[in-house]
A and B are shown apart, each in its own frame.
Chain A
Amino acid sequence: MFDPLVIGDTVLSSRLFIGTGKYSRNTLIPEVIACSGSEVITVALRRVDPAGGTENIMNHIPEHMKLLPNTSGARTAEEAVRIARLARAAGLGNWVKIEVINDQKYLLPDNLETIRATEILAAEGFVVLPYMSPDLSVALRLRDVGAAAVMPLGSPIGTNRGLRTKELLRILIEEVNLPIIVDAGIGRPSEAAEAMEMGAAAVLLNTAIATARDPLGMAEAFREAVSAGRKAYLAGLGPVEESAAASSPLTGFLG
């Protein structure tokens, strides 16, 4: 079944985006990519060291991957903009995941600064994917200023708590006419499947794979879960009923 995800002018067949942080060694990254089937990988510019020899994370990302440099470490819109420009100047392409975080305790995104950064970078021709706290008016504003997708959190980064923001995610999926990529908090393949069943366009995760006992096995499990969730969404889930529905209607005799 041909079911592409189109972001900007890029056509993707995998709806699982992955990260590069928290691994015990960078050499695991190509293996994780292979097992996950992912085509998009986010990388923190703060970790990219072009002069870093074998320690440079970029040496471990295969050519075919779509790079999604992120602005991890930015505390203001200005910092995020500067990091994005550095990433593009460093040859990492024109996609950027905006992360503006002013809260080092919970690492929750600053939605207002995120809107400001998105507006500036979209106007400069970047394909902007902002990471955000799920809020309808913010998501609509991000769409209006040129975001290519929005990336609401399922729960705080690194927690593996799953879709704690489910009701808000549902509203975003229904109301915002942009791909909704659930980012952060997904800890289990079943949670990734659930996000996809709800109609999310894709999911992005890192900790769940990177800190698993067997990262490669977990990457494969997520690939299958995302695929299953997407198929279920496309097939149309049956309605959930409060009480049992009789298979022989009680009023059938009325014709």
Chain B
Amino acid sequence: MMSFYETLTALEKYPYEDLWKQYTEVDIKRALQKERMDEGDLLALLSPAAGPYLEEMAGKAQRITRSNFGQAIQLFTPMYLADFCVNHCTYCSFSSIYDFPRKKLSMEEVKREAETIVATGLRHILILTGESRRENPVSYIKECVEVLRQYFTSISIEINPLTTAEYKELLLAGVDGLTLYQEVYHQDTYKALHVKGPKRNYRNRLDAPERGCQAGFRSVNIGALLGMHDWRKEAFMTAMHARYLQNSYPECEISLSPPRFRPYLGEFNPESDVTDRALVQIILAYRLFLPRSGITLSTREPAVLRDHLIHLGITKMSAGVSTEVGGHTNEGGTPQFEISDGRSVQEITDMLYANHLQPVFKDWDILTMPASLSI
């Protein structure tokens, strides 16, 4: 199978420390005048030389976004189905080393969560699980999707990497989108952070978004968990991965997420501090390099920052979020990480309207209708 891995291996050999120093303001100005940016322009936009040009980058990013996406911001919310996990990852509350009562929603509970969420007006949902093929097998996800498709017009998954055949199975069940974060592109850091479990298999995870494209998902969302390694390099790899997928699978909508590390159950501290300025630089570089890609903003960021970031290239955002299993109807579970923006769907809606943006609750209809519903 073709893979981004070969490209990534070559990209890892770049002399980044030298490159970051080589770029000057001339390179930034040249990049900003271009309509289509290349790999060198992306490096320039992520370099320290671009630091003083955030305002110019923001102006162009906003124009591109409004032209391609208008004033619309698509809303969705995550639904955690299960927190069983067989991996030991040093930065996640669901890690197998933590001892807390694990949960998995019954179909009745899935239905109740769906009813609660759909009452807010949202029609798009992202379902998540910890990584355990024994506790949350593909058959369990399918069962949940059968329930959820009665309520939602678009269902995306964020679960452990699957085979192409398994992705196809879920596609036929009604899943239309895949979110899968590489977490860390830098291979040595990846090995260090993923101590034990199948997630330690770097290549299996890296190739999974491509398998999703091959299976036929309408949208595939990727990202690096910012803060685990040098953010400039991680953002570069993420954008190059997105461009590879976009060029290889033009029919699939490729989106990017820029999640920053958030507090969780353990005490791991990331080595790279991603400041607000750095986050803005990353989002702008993504937008300018990939003008038509979606960019998703999660509730990991605080409300006041989210209210500003929506003008810089964001096209999707989560609202009314809980990172606990069953958290939309119950309280007291273990959150995967702490959220920063706890506003309700209505509050996010009001905020968007106040900013002259339109919240979009529905932007797709699942087309794989079961025979009983087809016309």
Residues of A whose CB lies within 8 Å of any CB of B are: 21-26, 45-49, 52-53, 55, 73, 75, 79, 82-83, 85-86, 89, 102-107, 158-160, 207, 210-211
Contact = CB atoms under 8 A, between A and B. Distances in A.
Nearest to A22: B70
B251 interface: yes
Interface residues of B, number: 32
A73 B72 CA distance: 16
B158 to A, nearest CB: 21
Report which residue of B67, B153, B358, B364 has the largest number of chain A beta carbons within 10 angstroms of its beta carbon. B358
Given A21-B72, A207-B70, A46 B364 contact: yes
A21 B70 CA distance: 7
Given A21-B70, A22-B69, A104-B246, A55 B359 contact: yes
A104 B292 contact: yes
Contacts, number: 81
B71 A103 contact: no
A177 to B, nearest CB: 33
Interface of B: 66-72, 121, 123, 153, 218, 246-247, 250-254, 292, 353, 356-365, 367, 375
Given A85-B375, A107-B292, A24 B246 contact: no
A79 B250 CA distance: 16
B166 to A, nearest CB: 21
A73 B357 CA distance: 22
Given A22-B70, A24-B358, A107-B292, 16 more contacts: A22-B71, A24-B357, A25-B353, A25-B358, A48-B362, A49-B153, A52-B121, A55-B361, A83-B367, A85-B375, A102-B250, A103-B250, A103-B251, A105-B247, A158-B67, A158-B68
A23 B251 contact: no
A89 B71 CA distance: 29
A102 B250 CA distance: 6
A165 B138 CA distance: 48
Contacts of A85: 375
Nearest to B219: A104
Nearest to B360: A47
A79 B367 contact: yes
B252 A104 contact: yes
Contacts of A89: 375
Contacts of A82: 367
19 contacts: A23-B71, A24-B357, A25-B353, A25-B356, A46-B362, A47-B363, A49-B153, A49-B362, A53-B121, A73-B218, A79-B367, A83-B367, A89-B375, A104-B251, A104-B253, A106-B292, A107-B292, A159-B67, A211-B67
A70 B69 CA distance: 17
A71 B67 CA distance: 20
B219 to A, nearest CB: 9
Contacts of B218: 73, 75
Contacts of A46: 362-365
Contacts of A107: 292
Contacts of A47: 360, 362-363
B365 A45 contact: yes
Contacts of B362: 46-49, 52
Contact of B67 (A45, A79, A207): A207
